[in-house]
Amino acid sequence: MRESRLSLLLDARAARKHGREAIARRQRERLTDIVAHARAHSPYYRQLYEGLPERVTDPALLPVTGKAELMARFDDWVTDPAVTLAAAQAFIADPARIGHKLAGRYTVVTTSGTTGARGIFLIDHKTLAVTSACAARMLSAWLTAPDLARILARGARIAMVNATGGHFASVTAAAALRTNPLRRRLIGEFSVHTPLPELVAALNRFRPAILAPYATTGALLASEQHAGRLRIDPVLVVLSAEGLPDTEYDRIGSAFGAKVRQGYAASECTFLSFSCQHKWLHVSSDWAVLEPVDAEHQPVPAGQTSHTTLLSNLANRIQPILRYDLGDAILVRPDPCPCGDPLPAIRVHGRSADVLTFHTRAGVAVTIAPLAISTLLDRIPGIEFSQIVHTTPVELSIRLQPLDGADPELVWQQVHTHISRLLTDHQLGHVTVTRDTEPPQQTPGGKYRTVIPLISS
């Protein structure tokens, strides 16, 4: 039986109100339930969990999983036998299906992520309902009654600055919101691929009360606001996707005269966390388990930065994510957060991103957010891994690993055409795009950086 969104919202508020033990109890119960569901309905998990106790309350008993192995077993991983990898791939190949549901039931999102491998993730009704409940809990923590009054006074318009043209989580969320006629009028979607002057002009016309860009794009827009070219007056700026130095959040808040908050989430768990006024991220641990671990997947104590992090999504029943290696390094706060929120507080150390900086022929500096390029590549079929390296002030080098069966030359031609067009749109037609003969390279920590900015000498 489906739980209503209202009941989930009330439960989310009650868990936070009643403190850590109430949150931990829900987490244990939901972990036991999702593990039992996965064993009963997913052939992959049935095999993986053979020999485990019938009732599991401790996630450490579960084997570690990862994107590459799960994608390789996609048809056995999902719990609905009517859903196949072939059907999901055909669905995401069609941009017209963005915002629609696979098999009439499942939202589909794709990601390449910092680990390089492309993933296809399904979001069921339960996950969407939990996401809505956690979002409402988040907004209640962020906004006071005077904040809400100011948002309404400014038209309640929300500007979402996303990568467009693909089945990315933020894009599908915006598409879903626009299905409601009232929301369609209030929500403006702007492309991160748009040259900065055009984006500034569009936001000046829209005048949002809430601005929701990727973090590096937010930093660029703050500079435009400070210079007087961008002239908007948001009440709240919500940053996502990438990390920034702490000083940047203060700079962005000062530029806009607004509250600045952020979320740390993933396509694998869209409701994962939200920030407080002290810049700590609070994990929705009544619906998710985050385990900081070392390189051998052994627990790392609070107060110490992990090598990686294991995620268990306790809501998603179509495509269970259990002890999944996110590849991000986190630090768990060892003492209560001064904001008073009982949800665990973390800092993320593995998602910082740098913008790419070029100069036009006239010497004008142009900055491009990494996601503007990486999400462009993610829309091109036939790529398994990609890496963009800013090698000189006027050159980008692209490392590619095509999918098995893909034509490498055709893939490269499409990559070259799309990136060259993006650069030309930003008055950077003199910047050359070359093909690196080397495959994408891992960092010492085993991650693939999607974008490697130019190192200043």
DSSP string computed for 318-382: SS---SEE----EEE-SS--TT---S-EEEE-S-B---EEEE-TT--EEEE-HHHHHHHHHTSTT
C-alpha–C-alpha distance, residues 200 and 213, integer Å? 12
Mean pLDDT of the residues in the chain: 89
Beta bridge partners of 119: 111
Task: Tell me how crowded residue 11 is: count the other CB atoms within 10 A of its CB.
Answer: 18
Q: Which residues pair with 132 in a beta bridge?
A: none
% of the chain at pLDDT higher than 90: 67
pLDDT band at 386 (very low <50, low <70, confident <90, very high): confident
Q: What is the C-alpha to C-alpha distance for residues 300 and 291, in angstroms, rounded to an integer?
A: 8
Q: Is the pLDDT of residue 222 over 80?
A: yes
- The pLDDT value recorded for residue 324 is 97
CA distance 438 to 435: 9
Residues 6+ apart with CB under 8 A from 180: none
At residue 445, does pLDDT exceed 80? Answer: no
Q: How confident is the model at residue 353 (pLDDT cuts 50, 70, 90)?
A: low
Residue 184 has pLDDT above 60, yes or no: yes
pLDDT tens-digit readout, 282-303:
999 999 999 999 989 999 999 9
For every residue of 234-298, DSSP letters joined together read: -SEEEEBSSB--HHHHHHHHHHHTSEEEE---BTTBTT-EEE-TTSPEEE-TTTEEEEEE-TTS-
pLDDT tens digits, 135-171: 999 999 999 999 999 999 999 999 999 877 666 666 6
- Model pTM above 0.95: no
d(CA 193, CA 171): 13
- What pLDDT does 177 receive? 62
Q: What is the mean pLDDT of residues 384-405?
A: 89
* Residue pair 394/430 in contact by the 8 Å Cβ criterion: yes
Cα 304 to Cα 141: distance, rounded to the nearest angstrom? 27
Say whether pLDDT at 182 is over 80: no
Q: What is the phi/psi pair of residue 292, to 5°? A: -75, 130
For the record, the structure tokens of 107 come out as 């939202």
- What pLDDT band is residue 96 in, cutting at 50, 70 and 90? confident
Of 72, 69, 67, which Cα lies nearest the Cα of 111? 67
Decide if pLDDT at 10 tops 90: yes
Residue 121 confidence (pLDDT): 94
Q: pLDDT tens-digit profile of 111-134?
A: 754 445 678 999 999 999 999 999
Choice among 126-135, 209-218, 315-324, 379-388 with the minimum mean pLDDT: 379-388
Three-class DSSP category at 188: strand
d(CA 398, CA 383): 12
Q: Distance (Å, rounded) from C-alpha 7 to C-alpha 262? A: 26
Please report which confidence band the pLDDT of residue 180 belongs to, taking 50, 70 and 90 as the band edges: low
Q: Enumerate residues 6+ apart whose C-beta is below 8 A from 310.
A: 59, 64, 289, 290, 291, 293, 297, 323, 324, 325, 326
Query: Tens digits of per-residue pLDDT, 319-341?
Result: 999 999 998 889 999 999 999 99
Over residues 18-41, the mean pLDDT reads 97
Q: Please tell me the distance from the alpha carbon of residue 319 to that of residue 80, in angstroms, as a whole number.
A: 9
Average pLDDT over residues 437-452: 70
Residue range 384-402: average pLDDT?
90
Distance of CA 66 to the CA centre of its chain: 17
Strands 345-348 and 330-332: antiparallel
Cβ contact 325:350 at 8 Å = no
% of the chain at pLDDT higher than 70: 91
- Band the pLDDT of 193: cuts 50, 70, 90: confident
Per-residue pLDDT of 227-258, as tens digits, reads 999 999 999 999 987 777 778 899 999 999 99
How many helices (H) and strands (E) the chain has is answered by 15, 20
Distance CA 91, CA 85 (A): 10
Q: Which among 179-188, 209-218, 254-263, 359-368 has the top mean pLDDT?
A: 254-263
69 has pLDDT over 80: yes
